[in-house]
Structure 1
Amino acid sequence: MKKFFLIALTALWLFADSAVERAALLLDDATVRSHKRLIALLFEDDGRFRHGSGYDMVKIASVLKENGLLHLKLPRFETVELTFESGAGNPLFFMKAVDEVLRSLGMASFMSRHARLDGNGFIWRVAFRTDAVPDPVLMAKRFAKRGAEVVDMQRLEGGQWRYRIDMSRARIEAVLVHAGDIRKIVRPVRPVWVDVSKIKNLTIQELPGSHWYADVVVYDKMLRILSIKQNDTRTRYVRLRLPSDAAYVKIGDRFTLENLRSGVKLSARGER
């Protein structure tokens, strides 16, 4: 029965051809029945919600939220599933961006339920226990801060939502450095990501009080690994001559980030 419901709902989503119908796909049945006249009034100007050949689902969700129709509170703690889809691209880059957004919304303890890469792109489904579905409007804004765009969203059964993300202009959250910059990263609780797209050389030095065992990875813009530097002995500093396609450097510790309890100093040289 559940499978039939999801198939029917997906079919409705594919053929919904008005802003009113699209809005209904973000609401529970009870809300649609109780407020159908208000929904019709809010989305009467169909063209206002058009975006290219489709609809601006973030704008539709925003209007529903502003008018108190987007009910996200759940009756009890339960498992919520979010499915994220993206077209062609690097799955690791996509997963990194989704992870950053979820963490920024306070959902650091999610579980990966399903991941699939095929000719249509990449799908990643995650789950977590909560008493409220994450705000889709706020989630879209967090993706937008990283250069990604939520191009479609759909409410499925219960606490299940599906998002389609355009990652063509996306970037990950990282410390941006320019030539001549000297930056201190104090007491990192996660590996430090540095945007090195503007520089040719980077020196990483442990701050007094740290006892660093270097774990440094250089990536291109799609998070393909270009080089790795790992030390099993204490590392005072690492000097990197960056390749022309280097975009990010991830700084961690070979064993535990506790070894970087005081942090590191970054020195950037050579304008690119």
Structure 2
Amino acid sequence: MVKNIIVFVLTASFAFGANVLEIADGILGQSSAKTTALFSDGLDYLDGSGRPDIAKISNTLKSNSLFPTSYKEKVNLDIQFISNQANPLLLIKIVKEALNSLGFNEILTTEFANTKATIWGIRLNTKFMLDPGSLYTALKNTNTIISAIEKTGDFSYKYILDTSKSILNLTPLEIGKEIELSKPLEPYFIDVNDASKVEITAKNGDSWFALVRILDNNLNLIEEQRKNKKTNKINFILPSNAKYITIDDANSLENIKRGLKIHIQ
């Protein structure tokens, strides 16, 4: 199975991503005379970079009643996101945020592999189809490109993504100023670009098993700062290639239910 996925990735890469008609047929899972006629002039469906504009393609499919926007009842929609870049955490982070922005918040991981291709398989239990055009637009905000789409079943798809230039749209913290962070629902994700030192303090009444991961621009782990006993403060020096940090509790985020204060220099 992984071998077939790798072949699919390489095929999409050699073709500079799928062309307009291939994207349309990939969304529908079949070729037809109608899609050939609709997209015969592919130039009308290219973006400024010369790649297929999947938002335009999707809108044309929907306006011609070729692509449904919803189902009669909830279905399990299985999707594989595949990247040949070796940055699995970045792939998951950008796709998850794109899906959240489209209203898909309950995401079940069904598969993960990081061999010659990074693969994240998910399941969405939903009445609403994941619109490739909306996903394309959401991913563009992070410089992430959909290179190819393949419908593999009635309710299953593969997306090949190019994450080589992907970025996260986070506002860096102001250096030299203490910032209060609200109660976390998940580990904090912080842009610490240009900072050299970090101090994190629990609010009054809280203490936590501090767990901080320091990441580079591609979300690769550089190092980890951890406290094995409860503390109300942690401080450390950042490596020169640090771009992001995640702040977590090794046991439970309930330990910092009042939030944290962070000061970077």
TM-score normalised by the chain length of structure 2: 0.80
1:27 pairs with 2:24: no
CA RMSD of aligned residues (A): 3.3
Structure 2 counterpart of 1:157: 153
CA distance in 2, matches of 1:268, 1:118: 36
- Distance in 1, matches of 2:25 and 2:222, equals 46
What displacement does 1:122 show? 1.8
| Residue number in structure 2 paired with 1:205 | 201
Native 8 Å contact 2:85 2:162 kept in 1:
no
Determine helix, strand or coil for the equivalent of 1:55: coil
Q: 1:98 pairs with 67, 88, 95, which one?
A: 95
> CA offsets, 1:11-67, max 9 Å, x none?
xx989x9745642432377xx68xx3xx56653432222467863434312433456
- Contact in 2 for aligned 1:133/1:159 (Cα 8 Å): no
Gaps of 5+ in 1: none
Quote the residue 2:249 is aligned against. 253
Match of 1:85 in 2: 82
Could you tell me which residue of structure 2 aligns to residue 109 of structure 1? 106
What SS is found at the alignment partner of 1:23? helix
Deviation at 1:241, TM superposition (A): 1.1
| Cα-to-partner distance string for 1:221-247 (whole Å, 9 max, x where unaligned) | 233322222223332222221110111
Report the CA distance between 1:195 and its aligned residue: 0.9
Provide the residue aligned with 1:262 in structure 2: 258
Q: Residue type of the partner of 1:112?
A: T
C-alpha contact 2:23 2:148 (8 A) present in aligned 1: no
| 2-structure distance, mates of 1:53, 1:145 | 17
Q: Which amino acid aligns with 2:182?
A: V
- Count, aligned residues: 255
1:63 corresponds in structure 2 to: 60
Task: Tell me the distance in 2 between the aligned counterparts of 1:125 and 1:251.
Answer: 26
Contact 1:174 1:192 in 2 (8 A): no
Matching of residue 222 in structure 1 with residue 218 in structure 2? yes
* Number of the residue aligned with 1:128: 124
Partner of 2:27, secondary structure, is coil
Q: Unmatched 5+ residue regions in structure 2?
A: none
Inter-CA distance 244–44: structure 2 relative to 1 (3 Å threshold) = same
- Higher Cα Rg, which structure: 1
